[in-house]
Amino acid sequence: MAKSPSKLIINFLKDLDSAKESSAGGSRYYIGYNKDKLVSAILGLDSKALKGIVKDSHWDRYPTYSNSRQADMRHLGPAILRAVNLACRISTTTKEILISNSAGIFLIGTIESTYGSDKIKACRRAIKSKDQRARLRASRELPVSAIKWALTDKAYSVRNMAIKRFGMANCANLMADDSDSWIRGEAIKNLSPTDDRVVAEIERLSEELTSMVERGSRPGWHSGYQLAHLVGLQPSDRIPYYLNLSTISEELGEIIGLKLDHWGSIQNDKQGSEVG
């Protein structure tokens, strides 16, 4: 069970809430904030109080946005992000405290409000953050050489960001055992066609789709596409082992047919190169 926020945090949130300037007109509802009050709320704290507030675990997974008009202590994400942005631009001392101590939404705001080496420092701290939003930003901003950890992060979004930056072809061997079926499938497509994990995936998909056809069900598009793709990558001399799969889907039947039709010419090319 999450602990209740400290009195220091509650008073800070009240100060932020007092900076709210809302307006409503027809179907539109807008919440703005008085900049002077936001700046006073964060810069009016002494260093000890500021550190105590921004490093608290209360801020992990604290919402960055809320469209609710209901007044509570979980709707002040925009005010926090705005206050952090202003503080980083106005006070070097406050910025350094945020870089070195912030957690959760405060760390997110610090990463988004700093540049150059300051941003990198904040991102390096975010690697061990309990808030996956902070880790996601670290995986996006840090040098590729510093984000290998992100490939095994528990959050899908963080792993996916790392894959985009590395390129799946460069990390397929690691990601082929990922817990997410989409990532695992994309990784397997990038392995050597004769890798045991590719062969095992063909067998798994074959059994799954064959069972569906026998039950009178239509195979899922993605599974059918994945199987056709993997079979298509197999060496031509292995295609005869997959002839029984040609009726599962039209695309799979076409791939197997094309591989068989051109098998002879491929063999002739091999023999010609060996004679030459």
The predicted-structure confidence for 126-160, as pLDDT tens digits, reads as follows: 999 999 999 999 999 999 999 999 999 999 999 99
Residues 138 and 249 in one domain: no
Residues 98 and 214 in one domain: no
What pLDDT is attached to residue 266? 47
Residues 23 and 109 in one domain: yes
Residues 135 and 203 in one domain: no
Residue 147 lies in a domain: no
Q: Is the pLDDT score of 184 beyond 50?
A: yes
| Domain boundary, last residue among 100, 123, 142 | 142
What pLDDT is attached to residue 12? 97
Residues 41 and 123 in one domain: yes
Q: Which domain holds residue 227?
A: 192-263
Give dist(CA 157, CA 73) in Å, integer: 27
| Domain boundary, last residue among 142, 174, 200 | 142
Instruction: Count Cβ atoms below 10 Å from residue 180 Cβ, excluding itself.
Output: 13
Residue 163 lies in a domain: no
Q: Is the pLDDT score of 237 beyond 60?
A: yes
What pLDDT is attached to residue 263? 66
What pLDDT is attached to residue 68? 60
Give dist(CA 134, CA 80) in Å, integer: 15
Q: Is the pLDDT score of 64 beyond 80?
A: yes
Residue 269 lies in a domain: no
Residues 196 and 116 in one domain: no
Percent of the chain with pLDDT over 70: 88
| In the block, residue with structure tokens 């094309």 | 258
**Mean pLDDT, residues 52-75:** 85
Residues 120 and 206 in one domain: no
What pLDDT is attached to residue 272? 45
Residues 96 and 219 in one domain: no
Residue 187 lies in a domain: no
Give dist(CA 73, CA 4) in Å, integer: 11
Q: Is the pLDDT score of 24 beyond 70?
A: no
Of residues 132, 163, 157, 137, the one with CA closest to residue 62: 132
Residues 23 and 126 in one domain: yes
Residue 155 lies in a domain: no
Q: Is the pLDDT score of 219 beyond 80?
A: no
Q: Is the pLDDT score of 256 beyond 70?
A: yes
pLDDT tens-digit series, residues 124-135: 999 999 999 999
Reduced to 3 states (helix: H, G, I; strand: E, B; else coil), residue 235 is coil
**Total domains, the chain:** 2
